[in-house]
Amino acid sequence: MYNVKSLKAEEFISDEEIKETLEYAEANKNNIGLIDAIIEKAKLKKGLTHREASVLLACEIPEKLDEVYKLAQQIKKDFYGNRIVLFAPLYLSNYCVNGCVYCPYHMKNKHIARKKLTQEEIVKEVTALQDMGHKRLAIEAGEDPVNNPIEYILECINTIYSIKHKNGAIRRVNVNIAATTVENYRKLKEAGIGTYILFQETYHKESYEQLHPTGPKHDYAYHTEAMDRAMEGGIDDVGLGVLFGLDKYKYEFAGLLMHAEHLEAVHGVGPHTISVPRIKHADDIDPDVFDNGISDDTFAKICALIRISVPYTGMIISTRESQTVREKVLPLGVSQISGASKTSVGGYADPEAEKNAEATSEQFDVSDQRTLDEVVNWLMKMDYIPSFCTACYREGRTGDRFMALCKSMQILNCCHPNALMTLKEYLEDYASPQTRELGMKLIDREIEKITNPKVKQTCYEHIHDIADGKRDFRF
């Protein structure tokens, strides 16, 4: 039985409810009156239910989809402005005891190069990331209680935060590790993590169990209920995601929104972020084996509908996607992207070693292989503000405090000037001459858009302070 407030996975992600939703959506995909009513509701910027959003996903009427895309663009501007937050993944270890059939880290893969970073190697990796200009990381590790126990993850987080190199500093560490216990989530919270991220992979239980035939990840309920345990452990920012291509996308879309509704209903705080990765080629993995792949157009439609359905959430697109695809979905709702990513263990400090190695340690092939400077330059040419801001996390604006500001669309008052100041840091410390020139012009234009005279003056002063060598200002 479907119960949005239940703590049991099969009740808040009800297979029966999803199937009824998809039938309802299919039956109403050409119901103009209903579609218009749903779009009108979305214009209130309070979101849509999984059933309402599924009707729009099923709809293929061109003029109605145009309305959806235009609304998604407007909601993105109203909540997030023209900022794009940048981050990088850091792979700590690819040792894993699971048997996930879509991931090259699966235990039976004997020809992938297994590696686990020492604390000394982490210093080298993080220094290389700081030298690019990164301030925000998402750490990744396979599930292996012997090689990657929680104590190892906590030690790595401590090491990352401790590294100060030139003007570099990692100011926020998000964590993407396997589902764990309330006690371990409490330890992660105490270690000062930002967002806890866990991809569901698929919400279809039968498919989930087939895709995860062995290992602790096989337990669908334990995995699906992880966010509730994380919040019980004090982590108030969590990130959802599915791996599109594993199962039918309409089923996954409904399940993803139901999960967001569940978190909101139980904890009063929905997902801080939603990621939308698509399955990609990797060592030992051929994405064509999975016959549920989605086109770029369908992918863009999903992004737009997530934005209007969960207007407050941050949306993440990684370097799994090409420059062309990322350019297509940025205006439709994406607010965070990775840049200059390496999906191998140790790939930042010594990228040549990975290229020349007989066996790769990459989790998947990276489609967008540009440098961070090239990504920053590209964003600014499209009139986006590349942001390295971590202010909300460090000022305690997390969980319900962040959501209150975001849902009222007041968060822009902090985020816009903070983005400009962190961009100025990047331009001073890491940018190429061409990127620096482009960025200075953008900052001059964007400061003029700050409506509060006091905030504008303070931001202007801090921009000059940064040019004089000072760092880390924030509203």
Over range 218-238, report the average pLDDT.
97
| Token representation of residue 28 | 């109403």
Long-range contacts of 252-255 (CB under 8 A, 24+ apart): 252/202, 252/203, 252/204, 253/50, 253/53, 253/54, 253/57, 253/302, 253/305, 254/18, 254/21, 254/22, 254/50, 254/51, 254/53, 254/54, 254/203, 255/13, 255/18, 255/200, 255/203, 255/204
Please report the pLDDT score of residue 11 as a whole number.
98
Nearest to 317 by CA among 294, 305, 334, 299: 334
Chain CA centroid to CA 283, Å: 23
DSSP single-letter state for residue 268: S
Whether pLDDT at 74 is above 70: yes
Whether pLDDT at 136 is above 90: yes
Model confidence at 265, in pLDDT bands (50, 70, 90)?
A: very high
Model confidence at 97, in pLDDT bands (50, 70, 90)?
A: very high
Question: Are 255 and 203 contacting, i.e. CB atoms less than 8 angstroms apart?
Answer: yes
Nearest to 229 by CA among 193, 257, 198: 198
Chain CA centroid to CA 21, Å: 26
Neighbour tally for 71: CB within 10 Å:
21
Please report the pLDDT score of residue 317 as a whole number.
94
Please report the pLDDT score of residue 290 as a whole number.
60
Q: Percent of the chain beyond pLDDT 70? A: 95
Classify burial at 113, counting beta carbons within 10 Å of its beta carbon; exposed 0-12, middle 13-18, buried 19 or more. Answer: middle
Instruction: Between 397 and 21, name the one with better pLDDT.
Output: 21
Q: What is the 3-state secondary structure (H, E, C) of 300-366?
A: HHHHHHHHHHCCCCEEEECCCCCHHHHHHHHHHCCCEEECCCCCCCCCCCCHHHHHHCCCCCCCCCC
| Token representation of residue 159 | 């090491």
Please report the pLDDT score of residue 369 as a whole number.
86
Nearest to 142 by CA among 92, 194, 203: 92
Q: Percent of the chain beyond pLDDT 90? A: 81
Gap between the Cα atoms of 441 and 370, Å rounded: 23
Whether pLDDT at 289 is above 90: no
Residue at token pair 């993590």: 193
List the domain boundaries for the chain.
9-76, 80-369, 391-467
Please report the pLDDT score of residue 391 as a whole number.
84
366: Cβ–Cβ under 8 A, 6 or more apart, which residues?
319, 320, 341, 342, 343
Gap between the Cα atoms of 253 and 251, Å rounded: 6
Please report the pLDDT score of residue 288 as a whole number.
61
Instruction: Give the CATH fold of the 80-369 domain.
Output: TIM Barrel (3.20.20)
Least reliable range by pLDDT among 37-46, 217-226, 282-291: 282-291
Gap between the Cα atoms of 292 and 286, Å rounded: 13
Nearest to 300 by CA among 257, 268, 333: 333
- Helix 15-27 with 249-267: angle, nearest 10 deg: 120
Please report the pLDDT score of residue 46 as a whole number.
96
Instruction: Between 294 and 66, name the one with better pLDDT.
Output: 66
- Mean pLDDT score of the chain, rounded to an integer? 92
Question: Are 283 and 102 contacting, i.e. CB atoms less than 8 angstroms apart?
Answer: no
Three-state SS for 352? helix
Gap between the Cα atoms of 252 and 35, Å rounded: 21
Nearest to 262 by CA among 50, 22, 27: 50
Model confidence at 110, in pLDDT bands (50, 70, 90)?
A: confident
Over range 182-203, report the average pLDDT.
97
Please report the pLDDT score of residue 428 as a whole number.
98
Check: pTM over 0.85? Answer yes or no: yes
352-381 pLDDT, tens digit each: 766 655 555 565 567 788 999 999 999 999
Number of residues written out for the chain: 475
Please report the pLDDT score of residue 326 as a whole number.
94
Classify burial at 123, counting beta carbons within 10 Å of its beta carbon; exposed 0-12, middle 13-18, buried 19 or more. Answer: middle
Instruction: Between 232 and 408, name the one with better pLDDT.
Output: 232
| Token representation of residue 128 | 């290389």
Structural element, H or E, at residue 399 = helix 399-407
Over range 443-461, report the average pLDDT.
94
Whether pLDDT at 142 is above 70: yes
Please report the pLDDT score of residue 355 as a whole number.
61
Instruction: Between 320 and 191, name the one with better pLDDT.
Output: 191
Whether pLDDT at 281 is above 60: no
| Strand duo 336-338 + 385-387: pairing | unpaired
Gap between the Cα atoms of 291 and 293, Å rounded: 6
Over range 336-364, report the average pLDDT.
76
Over range 428-439, report the average pLDDT.
98
Give the CA-trace dihedral at 377, 174, 251, 50, to 10 degrees.
Answer: -90
Q: Computed over its alpha carbons, how large is the radius of gyration of the chain?
A: 22
DSSP single-letter state for residue 217: G
Please report the pLDDT score of residue 278 as a whole number.
87
Whether pLDDT at 282 is above 60: no
Q: Which residues pair with 84 in a beta bridge?
A: 386
Please report the pLDDT score of residue 363 as a whole number.
59
Structural element, H or E, at residue 159 = helix 150-162
Model confidence at 319, in pLDDT bands (50, 70, 90)?
A: confident
Over range 125-146, report the average pLDDT.
97
Question: Are 333 and 316 contacting, i.e. CB atoms less than 8 angstroms apart?
Answer: no
Gap between the Cα atoms of 16 and 116, Å rounded: 42
Least reliable range by pLDDT among 67-71, 237-241, 361-365: 361-365
Over range 136-145, report the average pLDDT.
96
